[in-house]
Structure formats: C-alpha cells, structure tokens
Amino acid sequence: MTKRAPLANWLNDTNDVVAVFLAAGQIPDLINLAGGLPAPDAWPVDQISELAGRVVRDYPTETLTYSPVPGLPYLRDILAARYSTENSPLTRDNVLITTGGAQGLDLIGKVLLEPGALIAAQSPAYLGALDAWRPRTPRYNPMKLETEGFDPKAAMTGAQFAYTVPNFSNPSGRLVPVAQRQQLIDAARDTGAWLVEDDPYGKLFYDGEALPSMLEMCGDGSPYAGPVIYLGTVSKELAPGLRIGWIIAAPEMIKALATAKQGSDMFSSGLCQMVAAKAFEEGVADTALPGILDLYRARRDALCAAMDEHLSDLMTWEKPSGGMFVWAKMKNPAISTDALMKAGLDQGVCISPSSVFDPEGTDQSSLRINFTLNTPEKLTEGVRRLAATIRQMA
Ligand SMILES: Cc1ncc(COP(=O)(O)O)c(C=O)c1O
C-alpha cells in the first residue's frame, strides 16, 4: 500500500446530512425548501450587466489588476459613509472588504481562535459559521436568546467572541429585540468578548421598521472602536454571485483581519468591488429593494398559509417578520428531522434538519424551511409533500 500522510482530524467532525441535501439539487422535480437562495427574479440583471461593462471601461486599473488587501478605498469610503452615524463615525480604516460574508466569518476564526477556544453562539446557529470555524476545533456555549432568564454575561464569560444574527437569524428567522441587543453589548463590554453581528438579512424587513444595529447602538460619538464586529454582504440585496461582503470594526481588528485575508485570497475581485461601489452610489441596491420585499413578503405569506392548512397539527412555528426562513418544531418528538429530510427526498421535497445548525450536531427536533426561492404554487405543493411524508412516518 502507498504510504500517505493523513488528512487533518477535524474532517471527521462533519455531518453527512449536508452532503445529502446539497446533492438533492440534482433530483428532478424536487421542491427545494432546504437552501437559503435568493430568487433569481430579484436580481437587477440589466443594471448589473451595464455597470460591469462600464466599470471595466472606465476603471481598467481598479477592476483588472491586483487590488489592495483591505479593499478598494473607493468602496471602503462608500461603506464607511453608509454605516456612519452620529454615535459611530466611521472611516475607511473601520472597513475591510471580504469575498462574501462567508469570508468574514472565516477571517474572524483565523484571528480570534486558538484550537479549543470558546465561542458563545446564538443557537441554533448558521451552518456556514459552524463550517468556517470547524478547523479551529472550538468549544461552544449555545446562547438560546429567547429562553426566559437568559444571562448574556454568563454565556459570554471566557468566550473569545459571541456570534449573533440579530435580524432574522439563519436558521430561526428570529428578530432580537432592542433591549436584548443592548444586553449583549453590555455583556461584551463586561466580559471582554468581541461581539460578532452577522447581518445579511438586515434589509429584509417585511412588516414594521428596521431595528438599530448593535454597531450603531454601541458608539459614543468618538471614532468607532467598539466591541461589535459587523458583517454585511451584497448577497441578499443585489446578487450572491458578486461575492462582495464587508466587515466593520475597530481599526486594530480590521488590521488583524487584513493580515489574515492576505494569506487567504489576497484581495476580493476589483471588478466586483467596483460594481458594488457603483451600485450603492447610483442607488441600484436601494431601487431594487422594494421589489425584493414585495416578492419575498408574498412568498412568506404563501408558505405560512400552506403551513397553517397542512402542518398545524404536526409542527409549531412563528411567522417571521423578515428574512428568508421559517423555523418549525415537530410536535411528535419521535420523528427525527434528519430522517424526515431523507424520507422527504422520496416524496420530492427537501428541508434542512436542525442537526446541521446545532454546534453539537445532535438536535433532531426542528427544521428550517426557505420561502424566497420558490413561487407560491411550488411552496404550497412542497408543504403538501412534506405533510404527506410526515403522516407516512408517524
Ligand atoms: C447568517 C449568514 N451569514 C453569512 C452568510 C454568507 O453570505 P455570503 O457569503 O453570500 O455573503 C449567510 C448566507 O446565507 C448567512 O445566512
């Protein structure tokens, strides 16, 4: 037998459920309620294609050569201005451009985690964050924010950082109230833990007004140096294929993250950075938003109406006021949602089971359903198939 050095140990610590649901995309006529994909109809295709041609012609150097590691100053300045408030004035030194929000999570793991370090994570947690930090073999303190008497200070003590998605968390769809945002900031100050605010869904409010971000809540009028590390992305407002995200944080943290980025991909595509910069400057993102909100609100309503009709005796859930997901819990604890996902594939429907969002990988009580990708008709049919699957399993 040929002798070969072994692969790293952390590769054994994964879950085959993810591979199964990613492969499910190949099944014909499957209704995919599992992913977290935006609707292609929501992309401003003509505007992005016109911008892409124009920025290459007008800015050949910025778009086609190597870019500075922290990002193009032009885009960093636009983002600094976009997120500055009276309480939290920002400059480009507070901004790092990343290759999607996903890279922001990876870089945070690289600069803050020694092997075995502790993360306090809002639970259930975004699968992509768990995947990003897996090679660092962290320990987790799960933060169940909705539990009565939840004590953020106790949860964050000893943690390198707390990971939160305050606006319509992936997967739970939960909106963290302002008072609890303040408690998280206070706990970060008391414990010394950094506070990661991952915010891809911050613009996707379907009912009511947007809440203030923790980034803007924690400023005191001086140049921003707070404990919040804020992550944004164009993925849900413009298009995920651009792979442009950003981190807003204290300048010392931005420098550390840029050092990690240099060893990772050196810089994010200058072409995509210029497209994003012009899309913000010329209002493409803001103009596209009302249409996206109308489309997604109607889909959320269609999904929840179908769930009311077909699933109310089988599971419990709350209708989310934004984001992309409904999180539901099985009434019958004997039905594992890992098994439900696999059984659903035979009926032509795919959901995401709770085990993949659990840092321990053990919770099989709940499931995540996406409502942005499919039409109302497909959502209704998907829910019918899901209900039929569960009734066969019971
Ligand atoms: C909570 C959360 N964070 C980060 C991301 C990463 O987004 P992207 O890398 O497309 O910017 C996602 C994508 O779905 C997400 O749901």
Question: Within this chain, do residues 214 and 295 fall inside the same structural domain, yes or no?
Answer: no
Query: Would you say the CB of residue 100 lies under 6 angstroms from ligand 1?
Result: yes
Question: Within this chain, do residues 364 and 342 fall inside the same structural domain, yes or no?
Answer: yes
Q: Report the alpha-carbon distance of residue 325 to residue 169 in Å, rounded.
A: 8
Query: Would you say the CB of residue 200 lies under 6 angstroms from ligand 1?
Result: yes
Query: Would you say the CB of residue 99 lies under 6 angstroms from ligand 1?
Result: no
Question: Within this chain, do residues 131 and 248 fall inside the same structural domain, yes or no?
Answer: yes
Domains in the chain, number: 2
Residues in the chain with pLDDT < 70? Answer: 1
> 37, 176, 233, 244: which to mutate for ligand 1, most atoms within 8 A of CB?
233
Would residue 223 count as lying in a domain? yes
Would residue 92 count as lying in a domain? yes
Would residue 129 count as lying in a domain? yes
Q: Which atom of ligand 1 is nearest to the CA of 101?
A: 11
Q: What is the CATH number of the domain that holds 335?
A: 3.90.1150.10
What is the 98 CA–ligand 1 centroid distance (Å)? 12
Last residue of a domain, one of 228, 255, 282: 282
Would residue 41 count as lying in a domain? no
Question: Within this chain, do residues 215 and 342 fall inside the same structural domain, yes or no?
Answer: no
Distances in Å between the Cα of 229 and the Cα atoms of 107, 126, 164, 360 are 12, 16, 10, 25
Q: What is the CA radius of gyration of the chain?
A: 21
The CB-side HSE value for 318 (13 A sphere, CA atoms) comes to 12
Q: Could you write out the DSSP letters of every residue in 8-30?
A: PGGGGS--HHHHHHHHGGGSTT-
Would residue 9 count as lying in a domain? no
Question: Within this chain, do residues 144 and 122 fall inside the same structural domain, yes or no?
Answer: yes
> 96, 167, 197, 235: which to mutate for ligand 1, most atoms within 8 A of CB?
235
* Residue 83: domain span: 62-282
Last residue of a domain, one of 282, 313, 336: 282
Burial class (CB in 10 A: 0-12, 13-18, 19+), 283: exposed
- State residue 226's pLDDT score: 87
Would residue 95 count as lying in a domain? yes
Question: Within this chain, do residues 321 and 291 fall inside the same structural domain, yes or no?
Answer: yes
> Closest by alpha carbon to 231, among 260, 257, 259?
257
What tokens were used for 379?
Answer: 């959502």
**Contact present, 244 and 234 (Cβ < 8 Å):** yes
Query: Would you say the CB of residue 219 lies under 6 angstroms from ligand 1?
Result: no
Last residue of a domain, one of 242, 267, 282: 282
- State residue 276's pLDDT score: 98
Would residue 1 count as lying in a domain? no
Question: Within this chain, do residues 244 and 305 fall inside the same structural domain, yes or no?
Answer: no
- State residue 25's pLDDT score: 75
Would residue 185 count as lying in a domain? yes
User: How does pLDDT run across 46-79, given as a tens digit for each residue?
Assistant: 999 999 999 999 999 999 999 999 999 999 999 9
Q: Which atom of ligand 1 is nearest to the CA of 99?
A: 9
User: How does pLDDT run across 294-350, given as a tens digit for each residue?
Assistant: 999 999 999 999 999 999 999 999 999 999 999 999 999 999 999 999 999 999 999
**Contact present, 261 and 69 (Cβ < 8 Å):** yes
What is the 284 CA–ligand 1 centroid distance (Å)? 21
Query: Would you say the CB of residue 167 lies under 6 angstroms from ligand 1?
Result: no
Q: What is the CATH number of the domain that holds 82?
A: 3.40.640.10
The CB-side HSE value for 311 (13 A sphere, CA atoms) comes to 28
What is the 200 CA–ligand 1 centroid distance (Å)? 6
pTM of the model: 0.96
